[in-house]
Amino acid sequence: MDLYIFILLILSVTLLTISIFLFRRHNVSGTKPFIICILLVSIWNGLNIVNLLLNSLGAKIMCFEIKMAFIVYIPAFWLMTILDSMYERNFKSKLNLILIIFPTITAIIVLNSKYNNWFAYNFYLESVGNYKVLIFSKGFWLWINASYNYLLNAVSIGILLKSVFSKQYARKRQALIMIIGMFFPIVTDVLFVGNINLYNNLDITSISFFISLVVSVYGMLRYRFMDIVLVAREYAFEDMDELMIVLDENKKVVDMNRKSLKMLNTNISNVIGVPIDQIIKDIYKYDFYNLQKSTLKIQFNSKISDKNINYYGSLSAIKGNKDYIIGYLILLYDITELVVTQNKLKQANDKLRKLNEELYSNSIRDGLTGVYNKKYITMLLHEKIKKNSIPLTIAMIDIDHFKKINDTYGHLIGDEILKKLADLVTSELGINEKFGRFGGEEFLILMFDTQLNAGYKLCEKIRSKVSNYRFEYECSHITISIGLAELKCTDSSSSLIKRADDCLYKAKLNGRNKIELC
């Protein structure tokens, strides 16, 4: 068997084996059109072998037509491979269907070459060693097809170059490998179109395509591009709802997922190599040097497009050999809605707390004077007596001739006098005294840790202050009577109040504006 035929046969079998191997990963974006490319080149190599073994001109022309009908699809499927792999497109997309329209037209023209001179004509045989090689003139459609192929190749290289500068690490390496692989068939195609023969008029384009595909397969295997685990990780990275930012050891951005780019309203090429503190201004308030042992929890606020965004997440180290830090990973959750909800909840809780405090205050205070009401002041007294809080003195206060004041000046003036009296008494009390309205014009003072004589001095001061005060009403002067009683061991709250009330009654009988002790 001739060496050249043997080489073509080995190439064809090798490509078939590779396509079978890759078919196990056919669900990975870009794999399906790549397998088709491999199969097309494999079929092309096989047809080259058949063409070399044929002797008649008619048979060789037929084999040439079939071979070229296959090869015209390769640039289109190669571009599909790049588009699908770099952008996770669907193989059944409309663009892929459009890409094969022109190759299909070319294939129809090629298969009907004997009826037209559009693609190739003037076929004849030329002996090269042991072979008869088919020679032909190139028609205008061949040049159109070549231009279309060069256009697709240019688009492919452009996409790959863009990916080198904008895609993630695995995609960058994959793009570089594909660019290197593309140059082999492009060079041989230029030689074919330009009638430049390197090996006795034998077509070496199939060999160049084989080299290109092998280089691409190497890149895929070398960078685990077809590894479902790696693909799953990349999909997870890109599709996570959280913001993920990868930094190098110098704390510069090397990668971001889609969520991060969308939030920052930018693209990957604008942030690659940018120091992280230019993106997250508060990031250096966290100590990167402590990441050797543990992950840091981080939280900060950022203003993006005049909108305050709250983030919570983690900052962790990416470690290589011997736990050497080779980079950092920032994982952030947008908790803006949570913070807004928490703030609203806090405001609602504060409002509820104030409302509860107000309701509680209203429940223990007199609505007119603002001092404690009878129920609460009586409860305080009961609790102190229950705890045997001795000494304890109470004072029962009553406004002298208050009914006459109401009858003469009206209840509105009477209410104002009650409020002012409450203010005057409260101004003389300290932390050991509690003051409340007992009912009508009667008030009760609880004096804790106070003996009877000390209580008398305080009450005398209050009585004198009220007696000398001049009201801004028609009734400009009032007096009060006070009954004092000190807690005894046998007293209950009721008995103590009764004794103070009895002393108050005695003070009124003795002329009012007086203090009586019990």
Domain boundary pick from 187, 204, 232: 232
* Residues 6 or more apart in contact with residue 41 via CB below 8 angstroms: 15, 74, 206, 209, 210, 213
170-200 as b/e: b if 16+ CB within 10 A: bbbbbbbbbbebbebbbebbeebbeeeeeee
Residue 469 has pLDDT above 80, yes or no: yes
312 plus 252 within the same structural domain: yes
Which of 14-23, 204-213, 224-233, 506-515 tops mean pLDDT? 506-515
State the DSSP code for 284.
G
333 has a pLDDT exceeding 60 = yes
Angle between helices 101-111 and 57-71 (to 10 degrees): 180
At 420-437, the pLDDT tens digits run 999 999 999 999 999 999
pLDDT at position 226, please? 45
- 73 within a domain of the structure (yes/no): yes
44-93 pLDDT, tens per residue?
888 888 888 888 888 989 998 998 898 899 889 888 888 877 665 555 67
Q: Which amino acid is at 348?
A: A
Q: Could you give the number of structural domains in the chain? A: 3
- 259-275 residue pLDDT tens: 888 887 888 778 888 89
Q: In the prediction, which pLDDT does 27 show? A: 64
Same-domain check for residues 189 and 48? yes
Which of these three, 189, 215, 232, is where a domain ends? 232
List the single range of 249-253, 285-289, 401-405 with lowest mean pLDDT.
285-289
Residue 173, pLDDT score: 66
Q: Kindly report, residue by residue over 92-145, the tens digit of the pLDDT.
A: 677 778 888 999 999 999 998 888 889 888 888 888 777 788 888 889 998 898
Which pLDDT tens digit goes with each residue over 274-308? 898 888 887 878 878 777 777 888 887 776 656 67
Structural domain range at position 278: 240-339
351 in a domain, yes or no?
no
pLDDT at 191 (0 to 100): 63
Q: What is the 3-state secondary structure (H, E, C) of 79-116?
A: HHHHHHHHHCCCCCCHHHHHHCHHHHHHHHHHHCHHHC
CB neighbours of 22 closer than 8 A, spacing ≥ 6? 31, 34, 35, 38, 217, 226
CA dist 344 and 356 (Å) reads 18
Does residue 161 share a domain with residue 54? yes
Distance CA 238, CA 257 (A): 5
Instruction: Tell me the mean pLDDT in the region 342-360.
Output: 91
Give the end of a domain, one of 193, 213, 232. Answer: 232
Please provide the distance, in angstroms rounded to a whole number, between the alpha carbons at the two ends of the chain. 137
> What order of strands is seen across the sheet that includes strand 433-439?
433-439, 442-448, 392-399, 480-486, 515-517
Asked if 53 and 95 count as a contact pair (C-beta separation under 8 A), the reply is no
**CATH number of the domain residue 250 falls in:** 3.30.450.20
d(CA 236, CA 23): 23
Q: Kindly report the pTM of this predicted structure.
A: 0.45
What is the average pLDDT score of the chain?
83
Q: The domain that contains 417 carries what CATH number? A: 3.30.70.270
Residue 185 is assigned to a structural domain of this protein: yes
Contact between 516 and 482 (Cβ < 8 Å)? yes
Q: Strand 515-517 and strand 480-486: pairing? A: parallel
Maximum CA pair distance of the chain?
Answer: 152
Q: Looking at the domain assignment, is residue 361 inside a domain?
A: no
Say what the pLDDT of residue 90 is.
Answer: 57
